[in-house]
Amino acid sequence: MGTLLFSRGIPQRACLDELVLSRADLVGTIHREYLEAGAGLIETATFGANRVRLAGYGLADLAGRINRRGAQLAREARDVAGREALVAGSVGPLAGPTRGVGHVDEPTGRAAFREQVEGLLEGGVDLLVLETFSEIEALLWALAEARAAADLPVIASLTFGEELAAADGTSPEAAVALLSAAGADVVGVNCGVGPLLCLDALERMAGAARMAGAGAAGTALSIMPNAGLPQRIEGQFVYAAGPEYFGEAVARFLAGGAAVVGGCCGTTPRHVAAMRAALDRLVPVAGAAPGPAAPPGAAALPVDLVTPRAAPTETAPPAAAPPPTRLARLLARGEFVVSVEIDPPRSIRIERTVEAARLLRDAGADLVNVSDSAMARVRMGCLAVAFAIQQQVGLETLIHFTTRDRNLMALESDLLGAHALGVRNVLALTGDPPRVGDYPAGTGVWDVDSIGLIEILARLNRGEDETGGPIGQPAGFTVACALDPTAADADREWERLERKLAAGAHLIMTQPLYDLAQVEAMLDEAHRRFGPAGFPVPVLLGVLPLHSTRHAEFLHNEVPGIRIPDEQRAAMRAAGERGAEVGLEMALALLDGAAGLVAGTYVMPSFGRYEQAAELVRRLRARRAARAGVGRGA
C-alpha cells in the first residue's frame, strides 16, 4: 500500500494511515487493483493507525475512526470488485522501525492495540494481521488484545534480520512456539530483506512446529516478504525483486510450509498477479479439475480462514465493458430491427404477459419494449417483467425507465440491479405527471429528467456512478432516447434531442408516425440540424397500427404526441368493419416506404392487441424476406 501511495504522489513524510479519510478514493483504487490482480486477501491501510504512532501527527484521537474507515474502505472495494476475498485488519507496531517498545509501558501499549482492533472490528474485517513486529513482547500484547476483543482468525507475523533473529533476538523457532501458545491461528514472517531470507525463517518455523507436537504443529504458517532491497531513484524507492521472481518463489514458499503467501513492501499488483498465476497452477481451485500437486510440505490453510473464490486470471485484467446487447449488435450490422412494446400487467399475475412475449418472438420480433407505468397508471415494475421475459422466453428486452418515481439513489440502484440481471437496453424517459394517472394526489420525484438519466447511464458505461465513484467495471447499457417529430413545440423537442445525444444516447425511438411525408419531414429536420448525414445514431420508427375510425380519432385528438394525417383518418372511416386489416396495410406501406431511411421499427400495440402486432411483424418479415430473395435472384 505504501509503495503504491508514494508512487502516486503522496509525500514520503505524510501520515499514510490518515489517507483513508482524506484520500479514500486513492486507497480504494489501490485495494481494487490488488483484487483485480487475484488477491484472495487484502489488508486495510491501517498499519500504523494506533494512537501512539498517530500522536506524532497530532491525530491520536482519530485512531478509532481511522481504523473503522480503513476497514469500510477495503470492504467497499471488495464489493465493487465483485470478487470473493477476505478483508484483514492490518495492525503494526506501536512505533517506527528504529524505536522499540521500551518507551511505552504495557498498559498503554495494550490499550492502544485494543483501540485499534476494536475500530477494525467495527468496520467489519474478517480477520486480523499483526505484522512487521520486530519484538515479540509487543506482538504478544497485540495478540492478547486481539484474542480478547473477538473470536476472529489472527495472523501474527515477525520480521527477521540477516542473522534470522528479530530485533530483540527472538528466533523463528521461539516465535512459532510463543505465538502458537498465545493463540495465533497463523504464524509467519513478513517484510525483511527479501524472499530468500524470509524463506529461511519460514523453514525454521516449519521445522520447529513439526518437532513441537500437537500445539504448534496445528498452526499454519505465512510468508509475505519485501520485494528485495529498495534503491532510492529520483525520489522514489524502487525494489529489486520483480513480479516474475515472486511468481517463481511461490513453489518454494509452499514447499517451505506456507499456507498463506503474499508480499510486503514493494509488492505491486503485478507481483500479486504473478503469484496468483503460479499458485493456481500448483493448487487447484475447489471444484476445478485437479492440477499439478503442490510441492511436498505445503501446508493446508485452516478451515476457518477459507473463503470460496472464483478462479482468478493470470494477470490483472483491465476493466472491460460487457459484450454489447443483441440490439446493439443488430444495429451495428445494419439489420432491420423490429421491436414491439408490451405493457406490464396491472396485477400480480405475469403469465399472460410472458405468453404475449412468446407470441411476438415466434412472429419474428427481435426484442420487446417493456413500459414503465405509462400515463402514470400503476402496473407491475418494468424490470421484473423484463427479467421474467428474458428468463422464460429467451427474448431480449428494452425497458422504459422514467425519472418520475425514483430519486437519484433509486435510479442508480435499479440500474445496477438491471445490469446484473442482464436487462441492459434502456429507453430514458422523464415520465407522465402523476396527476394524469391513478393517483392524482401523488407527487413526482424528478431529481433529473430524461437527459439527466442518459448522463447517469453514460457514467455507468464509463464505470462510475453519479458521484464519480467506481462501480467495478464499465457497464454495457444500450441507451435509447425518445423523439416526437410532430411535437407542438418542435424547436424545444429537437433541442432536447440534441442534448440527449450529447449526453450519450445510442439510439432514437420516435412517437408513432402515419405517412411517408411525416418521415421525410423528420429526416429533413435531422439533415438541417446534424448535417448531410442526418441523424448521428440509428432511428427506430414508431408505428401504432390503427384498428377502427374511433381508434384513429381518439389517438389524433386525445393522445399527446400523435398526429394522424387527414388521408389516413379518411381511409379508416371508409374501412368500416375492415378497420384492423386496413390499419395493418397502412403500417406495412409506411414501413415499406421508409425502408433504407430508418434502422428499424418500434411497434406499439393498442390496448394489448398483441395478435395484431404479431401479424404485422409476420407480414413485415415475409415481405422483407421476399424482397431479399428477389434481390438474390436478380
| Each residue's pLDDT tens digit, 399-417 | 999 999 899 999 999 999 9
**Which has the minimum average pLDDT: 196-210, 462-476, 525-539?**
462-476
| Phi, psi dihedrals of residue 493, rounded to the nearest 5° | -60, -45
Q: Is the pLDDT of residue 455 over 90?
A: yes
| Phi, psi dihedrals of residue 325, rounded to the nearest 5° | -65, 165
**Helices vs strands, H then E, count in the chain:** 23, 17
More confident residue, 297 or 24: 24
Q: Longest C-alpha distance within the chain, in Å?
A: 105
**Which has the minimum average pLDDT: 103-117, 464-478, 483-497, 524-538?**
464-478
Percent of the chain with pLDDT over 70: 90
pLDDT at residue 444, rounded to an integer: 85
Q: If you search the block for the grid coordinates 402515419, which residue do you land on?
A: 514
pLDDT at residue 630, rounded to an integer: 58
pLDDT at residue 615, rounded to an integer: 96
Q: Is the pLDDT of residue 317 over 50?
A: no
pLDDT at residue 103, rounded to an integer: 73
The gap between the terminal CA atoms of the chain, to the nearest Å, is 69
Overall average pLDDT of the 474-490 stretch:
95
Q: Is the pLDDT of residue 288 over 50?
A: no
- In single-letter form, the type of residue at position 109 comes to G
Q: Which helix (H) or strand (E) holds 28?
A: helix 24-36
More confident residue, 208 or 524: 524
Spell out the domains of the chain, with CATH numbers in brackets: 1-124 (3.20.20.330), 153-298 (3.20.20.330), 336-633 (3.20.20.220)
Compute the mean pLDDT over every residue in the chain, rounded to the nearest whole number: 88
CA distances from 203 to 189, 215, 548 (A): 10, 18, 88
Overall average pLDDT of the 37-43 stretch:
96
pLDDT digits (tens, 9 = 90+) for 139-156: 999 999 999 999 999 999
pLDDT at residue 311, rounded to an integer: 34
pLDDT digits (tens, 9 = 90+) for 523-560: 999 999 999 999 999 999 999 999 999 999 999 888 87
HSE of 518, CA atoms in CB hemisphere, 13 A: 24
Q: Quick check: 135 and 165 in contact, CB under 8 A?
A: no
- In single-letter form, the type of residue at position 442 comes to G
Supply the DSSP string of 585-614, one letter for each residue: HHHHHHHHHHBTTBSEEEE--STT-HHHHH
Q: Is the pLDDT of residue 270 over 80?
A: yes
pLDDT at residue 304, rounded to an integer: 45
The CB-based long-range contact list for 456-460 (8 Å cut-off, 24+ gap) reads 456/408, 456/411, 456/412, 456/415, 457/415, 457/426, 457/428, 457/504, 458/503, 458/504, 460/412, 460/415, 460/416, 460/419
Instruction: Band the pLDDT of 14: cuts 50, 70, 90.
Output: very high
pLDDT digits (tens, 9 = 90+) for 491-525: 999 999 999 999 999 999 999 999 999 999 999 99
Overall average pLDDT of the 329-345 stretch:
96
pLDDT at residue 322, rounded to an integer: 77
pLDDT at residue 295, rounded to an integer: 47
Overall average pLDDT of the 384-392 stretch:
97
Instruction: Band the pLDDT of 237: cuts 50, 70, 90.
Output: low
pLDDT digits (tens, 9 = 90+) for 50-69: 999 999 999 999 999 999 99
pLDDT digits (tens, 9 = 90+) for 592-612: 999 899 999 999 998 888 999
More confident residue, 380 or 219: 380
Query: Using the 8-state DSSP alphabet, how is residue 229 labeled?
Result: -
Overall average pLDDT of the 83-88 stretch:
93
